[in-house]
Structure 1
Amino acid sequence: MPQLFAPVSTPQHEQAPVLGARLVPPPQWDICCAPAVSAVATPAPARRGKLADLDPNLHCSIIGTCLSTAELRKLIPRHAPQLDRKLATDLQIHHTAVELTTGGSVVAKELNKALDARHALAITKFRAARDEKDLKRLWQEAMSNGDVPGAYWALMTHPASTFDVRTLAFGDVHMLSHLVGASNRADIRRLTALEDECERLKEQSASQQVRLHDMAARHAEAVQQVATLQAELTRQAARPSHDLSAEVTQLRAALADREQKLALHTGRRNDTEQKLQAREERNVVLHSALQQANEAAGAARAELHALEQVLQQTLDGDDGQSALPQLHGLNVLYVGGRPGATAVLAKLVAAAGGELLVHDGGVEDRRGLLAAMLPRAQLVVFPVDFISHNAMQVAKQTCARHGIPCHPIRSASVASFVELMQRLYDEAPAGLAASSATPVP
């Protein structure tokens, strides 16, 4: 496509672009965007103007709008040996073209010839214009139709073109460059979306082609089968009627046999599906049981490790070493459990510097006593396998109301209690001592 718009002007403080082997100094106004410096009216010539006859400030917008970069890349390097045809940027090609057209050089004549050849139709259309009004009307039509390059060149070189008309066209082209820049990113996003949609449609089309090919093959096979059946029907129609009756009888017998086999296989399939469903349900139950067993085994291993530590301390005969971490006067309320185990737990807690408050969970002790004992404790423990449902609910609700830590354990064994106390100490070594010093509200 032709390059429609002139580049944006380069501010004075930015570095000038490199054109070949020399630098172009940064002017106050880049020639690409500078307005015409003079508005002096000149007599309208009797013939169309040339590129060299126009104000040099218009060369940039005309070259950038009315000629494509590919055309400039073919022409300009022949007159600018310092430019590499392949490595030079579009901006370098453009600036060199504008620079070489100043002063009516050979390049200006060649570009003028290329512009006339490229936009001959637009020049012919604008030739009918007789005055400034006609030129403005034709220019507005070209702007509406999007035919800017040819109309811009035809207007700039028209014999009836005036300073005001050229200034109007120059301003329109310059503002269009800003509009294009503002919508460029949206166009890129739309282009990306369209490319993705194109790829998706290509894949969908390929898939549909495969399906159509398969359908065509099946259609050809069906046509062949229809032709075969028609031939068979023709042959059967030519046979005697008694032969047909015998064949019909055979076919009915074969059909009854196949229906019987089908019913048998259907029943077997239903039985197999029921057995498979029952096995899947059993697998779910077994998986749940296995998960529970793994969790119980893990808890048992932790409790076994705790008992091994207690046993090791007992065998070592270290009377000063307690099986539990130091409790520093912590009051532990044990709800539920067996009397034999609670007696051992009371000794262990006492050896660790704490006190064990015991409530049997409502077996012999009154349930009202539990609510009275709970505020005295800084830690509540109860075994889930040896406690009444009511006592467990009372313990949870009271602990939540008073902010007392409450911990259920797996069983009423000594190992479960020892494992819990060691785990609490490992998670927060200072937690048990801090709990013993926390006042109960």
Structure 2
Amino acid sequence: MNEYLIPELPIADLLSAGSQDLSHSLRSDFELLPTKRSKIWELKEANRCPIVGTCLSMEELVRFAQRYHFNASLNDAFSLHIEVIDHIATRNSVSEAIQKHLDLKYQISLARFKSAKTDAEVLNLWEKCFAHGDIAGALWAALTHKQVSNETRGKIYGDIHMHSHQMGAGQAINTRRLAQLEKDYAELEVVMEIQKQRHVHVETKWRRRLQEILAEMAHLRQAQKDMKVLQARLEAIESGRAITEMEQRLMKLAVANEQLQSSVKQAAFLEQALQVANGKIAELTHECNVLTAERDSLEILLQSMNASNVPCNPSQFHNTSQIKDCCVICVGGRVTQFHKYRLLAMQLGIYLIHHDGGQNDAFSRLPEMINRADAAICPTDCVSHAAYYRLKRLCKRNGKPCLLFKGNGISSFASVLTQISSGQANLRSDVIERLKEVED
């Protein structure tokens, strides 16, 4: 409990005052004023609980438990929390030790709150500390302050209570965000390693070129020194036309030197331009190869559209290279292009069903649709990660072939259907694992 001080009145004032004045003086001067901060065992349980949970770390609880031989297991944080609250309910060696420990740990916060002279100032200072995240020390200083009221303690308890709920919700969000950041970090590490290797290669190449240029510059400097020496000698021993001729020769050499330096700069610029051009050529070559493959696939598709379709038995799907009149599910792709996908499939004798990967179609329909289909195809660059991994897992579980491809256009889709129709795609159940390795 808080101790209160009864101020002493001068005896002369008591004797000179009348009985009515004396009574009024005693009532006004004998106001119960707290003289020191509250101890932890003097607080209510509702205030002791957040102090233990917020102001003491798990390591500190374990040290107190080992020192005073608690009954709770050192690995059970909640049991340690409850037992500490039971110990600090009364004044004893444990509660006194915790009181001293918290006073020493948060002495800066105690000194800061010492400037608060009223309950309103304590509450105002607490709200500022709480808003800036300085919670543990401010909580201990505010709840034990000699001017704090029960109403303010209740307000502080409410702030801590809601903060714990928000911290729990925020921790789940931070956990998911951390997992995504770790994934992004791993991908960036791979990219950085590739860039590092490229940088090392380019740096090595340019270092060699730099050494060549430095050697040329050293040669030029030496030539300039030699020309200066020759010029000095000529000026000393010759005159007239000979001097004029030598000056002309020196001017020609200077011009040649400038031209050589300009040629070096131009060569460096041309080499850089050549590298850029080589990169563009490689990109265009790759794009040409892709377009050629798609063109060939479209030609095969047009030929197959003119040829007669021979339906096959769906039960022979895994043992034949022709896939006619069979059901194939497409997961992902552009929804607006699906009617064109279906027309192409119908021309090849393939019944095509579609799942948009979770945009509008529910994921719960995917198992039943895969079970109906004989095989599955998926454009990997136009489908969500969740639909992609769920499709592979369901196909593997049901023993369905799964063909993954890149490209969400009509030509890419036609190329895949042509591979299926012509038997170029070897759709066996183990193709899932092989494609998984390629994708990873």
TM-score, normalised by the number of residues in structure 2: 0.42
- Higher Cα radius of gyration: 1
TM-score, normalised by the number of residues in structure 1: 0.42
